[in-house]
Structure 1
Amino acid sequence: MATTIRLGVLGAGIMGRRVAAAAVGTGRFEVVAVADADRVRAESLAGEYGASAHGGVADLCAVPDLDAVYVGLPHALHLEACAAAAAAGVHVLVDKPLCTTAAEADRIGALAAASDRVWMVGFSYRYRAEWQRAQQIIAGGELGLPYFVLDTAIEAYVSTPGWYWDAAAGGGTIQLQSHHSFDRIAWLIDSDATGVSCRIVRPPGSAEVSAQISATYRSGLVAGISLSFGRTYDAVPRTLFVLQAERGMLEIDEDRTLRVTTADGVLTESHADDDWLGHELGAFAGAVDGDGFPFPGIAAGRAALQCALAAERAATSDSWMVPDA
């Protein structure tokens, strides 16, 4: 019988709350500690699970018999959290992006390599049913060789954490949104990016709110990634992913509908009721159990980060950039 995993939640914000609920919902986790710089917020979330509340990363990682942590902090704090988790000898689920610089990624990679614990990056699209079906269809070869991708995400919320728009804290649309795009494209087509260009919109005193990214891949595919965020109004998110290949086209929309069009007709599937976060936490638990199933690790997080950093460099240099430069 699988044992209960004693989980600490680093960050009591939107995702911290969702991850805590999803983790408990799997039946595999007990939330035993919550940390947040806002002590009131930490106490509020901890109180829902009978957990201890803490004001900092080090205090949480010192909790006795802690098995794992979820890192859902501002991006610039991920390295500190990962270092504390490594010192505590616990399993780590770190939300994307892995961190904000290549040097930080190298340090986290070294910590993970020296550890015998699971280090997983929260690339949640890999656990959404419609994206898993897309990956199966593409890998099965029925569409032929993919050669074009359009990946669009447009969001608008009045209420967002202030650090979202602070570049020094790891904010801005590129760091907030592009990691998912870079990871899911590479995962779907089983090929890495070879070049990135980018144009951005950056209001005065803010990190960028919009980014238009072009990317080339080793397989020959070209991709257009369109990302934008509104800050003064609320709106329903609009997302669309389209992949064209030699023998067909695959689409995924914001309603989580998968549509595949070939010469034989149109296949349409709805996955709106899929519990993707539960699947992600279940996969993390499985990895802790040693089930042997693949999961996105530090290398995947670093690859997406290198692409995002290349996009940032391209936005300021008016030229194409190589992701691993």
Structure 2
Amino acid sequence: MLQDALASAGYPERVLVACSGGPDSLALAAVAAYFARRGHVDGHRVSVGAVVVDHQLQQGSADVAAKTAATLEELGLSPVVVRTVNVATTGVGPEAAARDARHAALESAADDVGAAAILLGHTLDDQAEQVLLGLARGSGTRSLAGMRPVRDRLLRPFLGLRRAETLEICEVEGLEPWHDPSNKDPAFARSRTRVEVLPLLEEKLGPGVAESLARTASILQLDADYLEDVANRTYELLAQRSGMEVALPEEELRELAPAIRYRVIAKAAAAVGGQQPSYQRLLAAEALLRRRGSAGPVELPGGVSVYRLSLAEILTEGQLNRDAGGPRVPREGARCGKLVFRSHKPPQK
């Protein structure tokens, strides 16, 4: 599995294992250490280091990080880096804030040591939990596609491995993993999914539920990639940019298949600094195309508003600009109405 992951990333010469000290990442570190001792993977040179992130969210976390770092050094990984982060307490939820802080620390550590890949210990169980959480939240294809085996320089070699198997690896290697108490804390949705929901599904529906959920993610990844590629190309063809505004022509937008139309609208919002809109906000923005009721604005997350500008309004705006001595509206911009996405954020200096 690790060999396949490194092959898919082009056999990076230097990699880092992200290790919390838990059984999954510690088992991954032990497997990576085997290749580190050999000095190559499939004949390609490789050196393996590790990074331990101390989130400072639990008492004694510094001791856990230090003990984990010592274990990784004993395995022969080098360098072993410990990064201490401060997790934001406002804005996003605690799990998302911890993840953002951790990923920033991992990327920074990789930059510092010149690592082209970061190995993460997520397992098939983690993937199944991710799909269930996406279903519970009413998420779309991208979310239900779960975690990617390869995303930029993040590699997840263990997505085909069950959590029980990582415990077996640690036992065989004589390693004593740290068990994060938050993994059983019912305050977190992921913990409830892990401890209560998945075992209940296995009990009521029979074994193999986790494998089926992970397989669903793999299938949806192919669909999500295809739709994303079509949406990217369509957006580039339609988008009319002007400063912190993006306009999309109404007629062409209406002719798109809904799956692509919603994605193009979301991309226009992102292009002016917005965040991913919820499905309800996308519906509200898309409803402007039906020319019933209000022409907007519809507020989208991240300080973005979208409104419909009709042909008459475009022509009127052009006349006002000419009367004021301002620039004329380009002739091609007046051929049909359009949806305009505008940021309310002050421009960055």
For this structure pair, what is the TM-score category when the shorter chain's length is used for normalisation? 0.3 to 0.5
Q: What TM-score comes out, normalization by structure 1 length?
A: 0.34
Larger helix share, 1 or 2: 2
Q: Which has the higher contact order (CA 8 A, sep 6+)?
A: 1
Q: What TM-score comes out, normalization by structure 2 length?
A: 0.32
Larger strand share, 1 or 2: 1
